[in-house]
Structure 1
Amino acid sequence: MNIGFDGKRAANNLTGLGNYSRSLIEHVAKQFPTNQYFIYTPKVKENILTLPLFSKANVYLKQPDKGKSKLFWRSSGIKKQLIEDKIDLFHGLSHEIPLGIQHIGIKSIVTMHDLIFLRKPHYYKLIDRLIYKFKSKYACDKSDRIIAISEKTKEDIVELYNINPSKIDVIYQSCDDSFKTLSSTFEKEKIKKKYKLPDKFILNVGTIEARKNLLLVIKALPKINDDFKLVVVGKETTYTALVKREIENLGLQHRVIFLKNVPFNDLPLIYQLASVFVLPSYYEGFGIPIIEALYSNIPVVAATGSCLEEAGGPNSIYVSPDSEIDLANAINKVLTDEKLQDTMKQKGYEYVQKFDNEIVNQQLMDCYLKTMKQ
């Protein structure tokens, strides 16, 4: 089978959807090597081409023909190349598929990560909301099948887009394999020195934006043992200024460390050095950092209200994203109870095995084969 992928993010994005896209293609290509996998993208970041995915014998990177406009290639022009490459199935990895693909005899699947722009519209510009809604609604209506990355996302698709639930498969995400191997004390000490990390710290990973609610952690910090600092790893946005003002107001400059542009290979070791991982987001499609933390053998405290309970399982702790007191109490509970820490680590690690790549890959291939038979 020749399988095509929308590779815009796989070939250009080193975070979030880029990691998801590369991991999915790489692992399914390894587990099912008799298929051919085509990654379609209008442009490529050269440093990404050095990653293992692009050196696999059954993976092909495809770009617009020379002289062809790249402007509307992903949404329309790509269809000619899909036909030429004899693609049997096209997988849109992030909310969209080419316009009219249903008319050229190629089956299609779309992965829907979330509908946050509809659930929490105030986080998005009007023009962005309109574009996202058009592309995602079209993809859900016209694709042969839909993959939702959580039960919560499936519920949103059914409710907000009036899609028959039988058309949707829930296939969870895994995380990069580098998070699944515990590093040596020597390796961790090197990273600790490189980033001047404290002996004890609370970890938060993700883009610093309003939806992810880092401000709540800052407000909770004065109520948490002074021995523990907060380490934040993520890209800054305009919301960061609000967070930093609150840090100054509370006199917490000495307790908060911001790390930017952390190489991906260093991130697993930073997780493994942490005492607890905290993600109080108002809304997530799934919550990959929680999976990374559980594989890293770190207790997790997250927020209620979206799908984080699905990612973290029954032995992580969940609090209201509006209560810094509840968040502080939950973190203190973990930090002061070694028996609880051990239970959360053990049970969390057992739970996260359901997101193992081999399991996820088989579910994905089953979805592909089911789609081809429709």
Structure 2
Amino acid sequence: MKAESEKQTLKAESPELDQSSFGLSALSFNLKIGFDGKRAANNLTGLGNYSRSLIEQLATKYPKNDYFVYTPTVKSSFQIDTFFNNEHVKLKLPKNGSFLWRSFNIIKDLINDRVEIYHGLSHEIPFAIQHTKVKSIVTIHDLIFLRFPQYFKFIDRKLYEWKSKSACKRADKIIAISEKTKSDIVDLYGVNPNKIEVIYQSCDEIFKTPLAEIALNKIRLTYNLPKKYILNVGTIEERKNLKLIVQALKSVDNNYKLVVIGKQTSYFKTVEKEIAKLGLADSIIFLKNIPFADLPGIYQMATIFAYPSFYEGFGIPIIEALYSGIPVIAATGSCLEEAGGPDSLYVSPTDSAELAKAINKILSSTELQKDMKVKGLDFVKKFDSQLVTQQLMESYIELLKNSTP
């Protein structure tokens, strides 16, 4: 009865949003939705994957809408080219130069394109958008730069804080990607929690299909992967805490190697020193610039996924690992328990002995491995792309419904 009441209210308030049922009814919409596309059009990992996946899922599930992707530049790559080949995704470049376009001059384009909702996918929205008829949403992934300021340059930290705090103040709605991030927004920015909606992330669909053995063997040969390995994926930076895995590896069954995939930063030198100190050079393999299409196979052949990061806004690699049927060990202290669920294992990000104990616990029990895989796959259903996409569209609908006179 409640859903029917909401549907009737929606019809009465806004005839153009007349739907067959609230939420799922968005299939018959003809909305014009704009997105900050800088990451989608230029980043091949992280926020780029997040942005493309989100827009692609919306365009697939709700194809009657127009999806405008605003970006000052476009990088040429297979992933990005494929994204913009989607008939429902419309690339929008600046008409009069890109300088400060995303912050100011984009407003003219949004109005000219008759955009109804603008979604800032990463911490910012245009200034003065609140003075237009365009409804705005901003996604906040994390406030790590405030929780761990030592990992950021002073100027970068202040810029991130200024943009994100301003966006939270001016946006009509805030989407947080985890309960932990929502809590941080409330605590650090003093935002009313009623303005914030938690919508989890999923991962790319490519991680959700098991590869055939012949495909896995080809990937193994291509990268000379060992038969047994522990996997870690993520930028090699201090916050991600790779050094802890290296320290734990000294006390782990030496039949298992560590495979690390990620961009190297200056922190890599610290990791190298620890590897040399512990005599583990032959036990660790570093891979860089892995084609996206090969990443699922590398996950699927791993025995354990280890992710002892000090702090995350969510932890997409954990979702990728769970979909790949791999037991996960993560760190306590941020939101990783939200991503990994009750049947993954969690350790202190400062205790290498505890991490080694957790790894050995899994390696020593095939029954535990099977149990963690089954329960992990069951838990990760809550991050299904279809569900997340539906939640996001319902959020858009709700925003328009509440703003209709």
Give the TM-score of the pair, scaled to structure 1.
0.98
User: Which one of the candidate residues 374, 390, 400 is aligned to 1:346?
Assistant: 374
Structure 2 distance, partners of 1:52, 1:312, is 30
User: Which one of the candidate residues 187, 198, 221 is aligned to 2:249?
Assistant: 221
* Residue 201 of structure 2 corresponds to residue 173 of structure 1: yes
Contact 1:29–1:37 (8 Å) recurs in 2: yes
Structure 2 distance, partners of 1:195, 1:289, is 20
Cα displacement string for residues 238-281 of structure 1 (whole angstroms, at most 9, x for unaligned residues): 00111011101111000000000000000000000100000000
Unaligned runs of 5+ in 1: none
Contact 1:216–1:321 (8 Å) recurs in 2: yes
- Residue 49 of structure 1: CA displacement? 6.5
Structure 2 residue identity aligned to 1:41: T
Larger Cα-atom Rg: 2
* Residue 75 of structure 2 corresponds to residue 45 of structure 1: yes
User: Which one of the candidate residues 90, 95, 98 is aligned to 1:60?
Assistant: 90
Q: In the alignment, what sits opposite 1:185? A: 213
Q: In the alignment, what sits opposite 1:101? A: 129
Cα displacement string for residues 78-129 of structure 1 (whole angstroms, at most 9, x for unaligned residues): 1111111110000000000000101121000000000000011111011011
Aligned runs of 1:115-134 on 2, under 5 Å?
Answer: 115-134=143-162
- Aligned pair count reads 372
Structure 1 residue identity aligned to 2:171: S
Structure 2 distance, partners of 1:52, 1:110, is 25
Structure 2 distance, partners of 1:371, 1:251, is 57
**Divergent runs of 4+, >6 A:** none
User: Which one of the candidate residues 282, 285, 299 is aligned to 1:254?
Assistant: 282
Aligned runs of 1:1-374 on 2, under 5 Å?
Answer: 1-48=31-78, 51-65=81-95, 68-374=96-402
CA RMSD of aligned residues (A): 0.8
Structure 2 distance, partners of 1:264, 1:286, is 20
Structure 1 distance, partners of 2:82, 2:58, is 13
- Residue 51 of structure 1: CA displacement? 4.0
Structure 2 distance, partners of 1:234, 1:63, is 31
Structure 1 distance, partners of 2:83, 2:220, is 29
Contact 1:11–1:48 (8 Å) recurs in 2: no
State the identity as a percent. 60
Unaligned runs of 5+ in 2: 1-30
Structure 2 residue identity aligned to 1:182: P
Structure 1 distance, partners of 2:172, 2:399, is 7
- SS of alignment partner, residue 30 of structure 1: helix
Contact 1:202–1:229 (8 Å) recurs in 2: yes
Q: In the alignment, what sits opposite 2:27? A: none
